[in-house]
Structure 1
Amino acid sequence: MRDFRFGFNFFDLPSRQEFVARCRTAERFGYDVALIPDHLGGPAPFPAMVAAAEATERLRVGPLVLNVGFWNPHLLAREVATADRLTDGRVELGLGAGHMKWEFDAAGLPWEPFGARVERLERTVEELTRLFSGPDYPQRAAVRELHDLAELKPVQRRGFGGFGPPLLIGGTSDRVLRLAARCADIIAYGGGLQMKGAEPGTFRLATAAEAEERVRFVRGLLGERADRVESSVLIQAVIVTGDRRAAAERLSAERMPFLTPEQVLETPFLLLGTHRQIADQLLERRERYGFSYITVHGPYMEALGPVIELLR
């Protein structure tokens, strides 16, 4: 069974000083990875990743997850290789198909059907693998030889067929999970399910039964890769309380009417209880679902911090 790893993400960037302080606080708690979502209005992923690594001694860094609809693969390969070199090989690259229609609209990008977005994700993985594994652009050969320039390639040789950083793919659909099972080093379960008939990007939280079905689906695809692939879960809220039932009732009534209090208590995408109870929940869920890489949204980073010590 895999050891736990813990990550946290950033919703905002109030100032350089506060960003650095959050990273260092997380490192003291024992977090392993600082993550940056790829959403309009939030921090730009790659500069923030490099800054997080620079501010800390050991935190790995990555996007959770890049919206591939925003990125040209050649430009993305340059960003990844640069960040991996500047962080001495601490990058973990998370990729996703994109799900917020309003962001495509605001950026003036076409909003494609889901199947087309998954195909773009698959092509991006293939193209990054080719760019990381192949020779530099032949058009640069003369200047590279003249000045003895190093090729811009990732430091790490773990993901992308052994030519790049670890690859994380996040999603819930059959098509995305099939791709992840085939080529990802980390498969991320975020727990958000598109609500039928609602605007794209309008989610409800998956139940324990739904999460178990998705995990079972992926396990059936992994085959001999099962022991080499890490399973990650994105925790949507951490509530430290001595009364789990009362907290679940409030969440169900105020924020998650699509879940009953019992479902709030059972879903693996929420953590409620004392620090000891939360630690026990994570142990049980690692056994049940295989979730060993635990990520929380930034506002809950400090709430989960004491649990990390209990599990190590």
Structure 2
Amino acid sequence: MARDFRFSFNVFGIPSRKALQERCRRAESAGFHAVFAPDHLGGPAPFPVLQAAADVTEHLRVGTLVLNAPFWNPALLAREAASLDILSDGRLELGLGAGHMKREFDVAGIPWEPFGARARRLEETITELRRFFTADLAALPGGHSPVPVQRTGFDGSGPPLIVGGTGDRVLSVAARHADIIGVAGVYQVPGEPPGTFRLGTAAEADERVRFVRELAGERADDIEWHVLVQMVVPTDDRRAAAEDLVARFGGEMTVDEALETPFLLIGTPAQMAEQLRASRERYGFSYVTVHDPYYEAFEPVVELMRD
């Protein structure tokens, strides 16, 4: 049986506290299920953003999509996550990734390691968080370390865990540990500087989902499958809009590929809703996130599908 849809958006910036909180109230009213904060230097710090969102909503879940694991000390991250889970009344979803923007590491003075080392760091962080979410921090002097409200992720010790990516190593970590798995919509262009991406195709999404499901084994049907939509394009002429996008992308994919990929939504609200239903049937994607600039374009789709 197909999972119910969940809809969400991420936050790129905070023009003001009032603007952020008004957006979150509006999203909750429109039928969105979650708001996410990414973890990039040059953007706002994720945990204060999510706390501000939780403070003015009742049911909207808050999450990270995704934290850059090499940026975080696991003990300090466990404290941040547990505190937010408590202060949001158990609404946190903790997303973790291996990091992919070399320039951010350089600016922060954090060594840039090969991808295999970053993937190992990601898995080690998950293991350490599982341990710290139990009794380890509470055993320190003072004994008042926060403990998460939720006990659904991290083998029953913490909040739901999201892991996403495109590469074999990160998706292998996701298959072993994650409650929610995101198949990323962009791929590193070989031979180009880290952070130079192209859009993924439907065929690549097929292959990546199949890869993770095989690794997850019996867990596969319990996993919630997530898709990050890269663009939402309202139009009455899907093909003409796709032709324009392909021209802007520099011919990296064909028009038919742009119309088929699950990482773009093109059309009227009703057509986008049909795309999402088809994507859930084909890949299992039921948890849908759009980038903040496309919130306005996506809201009518959520309202159409909320029942």
TM-score computed with the length of structure 1 as normaliser: 0.95
Query: Deviation at 1:138?
Result: 3.4
Which residue of 261, 277, 293 corresponds with 1:267? 261
Establish whether residue 250 from structure 1 lines up as the match of residue 248 from structure 2.
no
Q: Counterpart of 1:96 in structure 2: which amino acid?
A: G
Q: Name 1:104's counterpart in structure 2.
A: 105
Q: Segments of 4+ in structure 1 off by > 6 A?
A: none
Q: Quote the Cα distance in structure 1 between the aligned partners of 2:119 and 2:26.
A: 36
Q: Name 1:51's counterpart in structure 2.
A: 52
Preserved contact between residue 237 and residue 269 of structure 1 (Cα < 8 Å)? yes
Gaps of 5+ in 2: none
Q: 1:299 to 1:89 in 2, by over 3 A?
A: same
Q: Counterpart of 1:187 in structure 2: which amino acid?
A: I
Q: Counterpart of 2:130 in structure 1: which amino acid?
A: T
Preserved contact between residue 52 and residue 61 of structure 1 (Cα < 8 Å)? yes
Q: Quote the Cα distance in structure 2 between the aligned partners of 1:137 and 1:2.
A: 37
Gaps of 5+ in 1: 145-149
Q: Name 2:16's counterpart in structure 1.
A: 15
Query: Deviation at 1:309?
Result: 2.7
Q: Counterpart of 1:37 in structure 2: which amino acid?
A: P
Q: Counterpart of 1:103 in structure 2: which amino acid?
A: E
SS in structure 2 of the partner of residue 134 of structure 1 = helix
Query: Deviation at 1:227?
Result: 2.0
Q: Counterpart of 2:300 in structure 1: which amino acid?
A: P
Q: Name 1:147's counterpart in structure 2.
A: none
Q: Name 2:212's counterpart in structure 1.
A: 218
Establish whether residue 300 from structure 1 lines up as the match of residue 301 from structure 2.
no
Q: Quote the Cα distance in structure 1 between the aligned partners of 2:10 and 2:121.
A: 25
Provide the aligned length of Structure 1 versus Structure 2: 305
Q: CA RMSD in A?
A: 1.1
Query: Could you report, residue by residue, the CA deviation over 1:81-126 in whole angstroms, capped at 9, with x for unpaired residues?
Result: 1111111110000000000000000111100000000000000000
Report matched runs for 1:127-166 at 5 Å.
127-140=128-141, 143-144=142-143, 150-166=144-160
Preserved contact between residue 26 and residue 302 of structure 1 (Cα < 8 Å)? no
Q: Quote the Cα distance in structure 2 between the aligned partners of 1:303 and 1:156.
A: 33
Q: Quote the Cα distance in structure 2 between the aligned partners of 1:43 and 1:135.
A: 30
Q: Name 1:310's counterpart in structure 2.
A: 304
SS in structure 2 of the partner of residue 204 of structure 1 = strand
Q: Name 1:241's counterpart in structure 2.
A: 235
Q: Counterpart of 1:75 in structure 2: which amino acid?
A: L
Q: Name 1:40's counterpart in structure 2.
A: 41
Q: Quote the Cα distance in structure 2 between the aligned partners of 1:176 and 1:44.
A: 24
Q: Quote the Cα distance in structure 1 between the aligned partners of 2:25 and 2:134.
A: 34
Query: Could you report, residue by residue, the CA deviation over 1:270-312 in whole angstroms, capped at 9, with x for unpaired residues?
Result: 0001111100010001000000000000111121111123222
Q: 1:170 to 1:233 in 2, by over 3 A?
A: same
Q: Name 1:173's counterpart in structure 2.
A: 167
TM-score computed with the length of structure 2 as normaliser: 0.97
Query: Could you report, residue by residue, the CA deviation over 1:5-30 in whole angstroms, capped at 9, with x for unpaired residues?
Result: 00100111111111111111111211
Query: Could you report, residue by residue, the CA deviation over 1:222-256 in whole angstroms, capped at 9, with x for unpaired residues?
Result: 22112211000000000110000110011111135
Report percent identity of matched pairs.
Answer: 61
Q: 1:71 to 1:151 in 2, by over 3 A?
A: closer
